[in-house]
Amino acid sequence: GRPSCECNTCYHGSDCSIPSLDCSADADSGNPLFLEPYWYRHAKGSAVVVAGWHRMGYDATGENFISVELEQHIRKLHRIVGNAVVDDRFIIFGAGSTQLLYALVHALSPHNSSSPASVVASIPYYPVYKMQVDLFNSKLAEWRGVTSSWVNESISSSSSSSSDGSMNNFIEFVTSPNNPDGLLKQSILGGSSVIYDYAYYWPHFTAIPAPSDHNVMIFSSSKLSGHASSRFGWALIKDEQVYKKAIYYMKLNTMGVSRDTQLRMLKIIKVILAEHGRKGDIFSFGYQTMRERWTKLNKVVSKSKRFSLQTIPSQYCNYFKTIRDPSPAYAWLKCERDEDQECDVVLKNAGIICREGSLFEADDRYVRLSLVKTQDDFDQLVQKMDALVSDHSSIS
């Protein structure tokens, strides 16, 4: 059962059952609390107790501040899920994938080149990529905007590409499935270095068509187990030189990831593995929860032509061994009417807090609605959305 807790801001009363008036549905952040019920069920088995004397020093069991046992369990998890090739790969840990994103930009930048690497992503993209590159303002790497504008460059073989047309001084971010639109993506810039951000490449959110086999792949526990506050991510890296540069970065940046966090993540992943294949394991729970939310929201949105949602195909999933329905982490909602140029304002006026499209460098006709928060958050979103589409003035 659910342990006693504070009420969601939209409810009050001793059992949090009385709806508060004038409460907005908050679909803004990507807080992965949809997984809380899974961990309520495994509260005891997933608990970690650490004595005061435990692992006080700087060391971990493995080199470069990582726990050997945790590394082994992560490799096992990838083999079971089938989302990434782990053989002949180096692993580094980071404080969330956030820390690894820039560690890999740094590691992939040519350190002996006179010009900085060009870092790019495809619209709509997760804004932190650009924000980090701009913040660190390094001589090694520079934000150069939208990937597609460089594809044309490479075809016309401009000065930025080498004689064979490959973009060898580029670092391309590919988020798959993408935040915010949930679509599976591939690199589109031939010859560039690519950072695959696989934060959402788990059966909760997407079909797993095949194990990914790329040079640099970043994962995070935030959206896998829901433990965003532990700040734990990892990267699988093929090339030893890239690995060594990333390790050097991590060494000077934080001297590795908190050993306490590693201990907790080991326990969490042990539970996931032990439960795997049983009824209600984390992947079937995650998929069912997210699919149900997606279906419900679609039903409501399709009542009106004023709004539309992204189309995600049903697809064969190598993990579930069947064709499966979409179950994205976010809805990428479009306001279709000419007068609704600022979709976030339309939603805000209807009591829905969301993220505007321009944050992802997309049109403000789009907004992102988070579907990964608590069931209460989601229910309120559907309730407000239903009221909005049922409003007579919105039916066209």
Taking CB under 6 A as the rule, does residue 222 contact ligand PMP?
A: yes
Name the residue nearer to ligand PMP (CB basis): 172 or 197: 197
178 vs 326: CA distance, rounded Å: 13
330 vs 293: CA distance, rounded Å: 10
Of the residues 46, 74, 83, 96, which one makes contact with ligand PMP according to CB under 6 A: 96
Cα-based torsion angle of the residue sequence 12, 13, 15, 21 in order, rounded to the nearest 10 degrees? -30
Going from the C-alpha of 135 to that of each of 22, 101, 314, the distances in angstroms are 38, 13, 39
Range 227-246, binding ligand PMP (CB under 6 A): 228, 233
Beta-carbon-side half-sphere exposure of residue 30 (alpha carbons within 13 Å): 17
Name the residue nearer to ligand PMP (CB basis): 290 or 346: 290
Taking CB under 6 A as the rule, does residue 98 contact ligand PMP?
A: yes
- 3 C-beta neighbours (distance < 10 Å), count: 7
Q: φ, ψ for residue 12 (rounded to 5)?
A: -145, -175
Pattern of binders to ligand PMP over 196-215, x per CB under 6 A? -x-x----------------
- Nearest approach, Cβ of 152 to ligand PMP (angstroms)? 26
Name the residue nearer to ligand PMP (CB basis): 29 or 166: 29
- Nearest approach, Cβ of 239 to ligand PMP (angstroms)? 21
Taking CB under 6 A as the rule, does residue 118 contact ligand PMP?
A: no
Taking CB under 6 A as the rule, does residue 126 contact ligand PMP?
A: yes
Categorise residue 204: left if φ over 0, alpha if ψ from -120 to 50, beta otherwise.
alpha
Binding-site size for ligand PMP (CB under 6 A) equals 13
325 vs 209: CA distance, rounded Å: 13
Cα-based torsion angle of the residue sequence 235, 236, 242, 244 in order, rounded to the nearest 10 degrees? 80
Range 8-37, binding ligand PMP (CB under 6 A): 30
38 vs 40: CA distance, rounded Å: 6
157 vs 165: CA distance, rounded Å: 5
Question: Would you say 221 and 270 are in contact if contact means Cβ atoms under 8 Å apart?
Answer: no
Name the residue nearer to ligand PMP (CB basis): 218 or 343: 218
**Counting Cβ atoms within 10 Å, is residue 42 exposed (0-12), middle (13-18) or buried (19+)?**
middle
- Nearest approach, Cβ of 52 to ligand PMP (angstroms)? 28
- Nearest approach, Cβ of 166 to ligand PMP (angstroms)? 26
Pattern of binders to ligand PMP over 171-190, x per CB under 6 A? ----x---x-----------
Taking CB under 6 A as the rule, does residue 97 contact ligand PMP?
A: yes
Range 146-175, binding ligand PMP (CB under 6 A): 175
Span from 91-99, 151-159, 269-277, 375-383 in contact with ligand PMP (CB under 6 A)? 91-99
Q: Which residues bind ligand PMP (CB under 6 A)?
A: 30, 96-98, 126, 175, 179, 197, 199, 220, 222, 228, 233
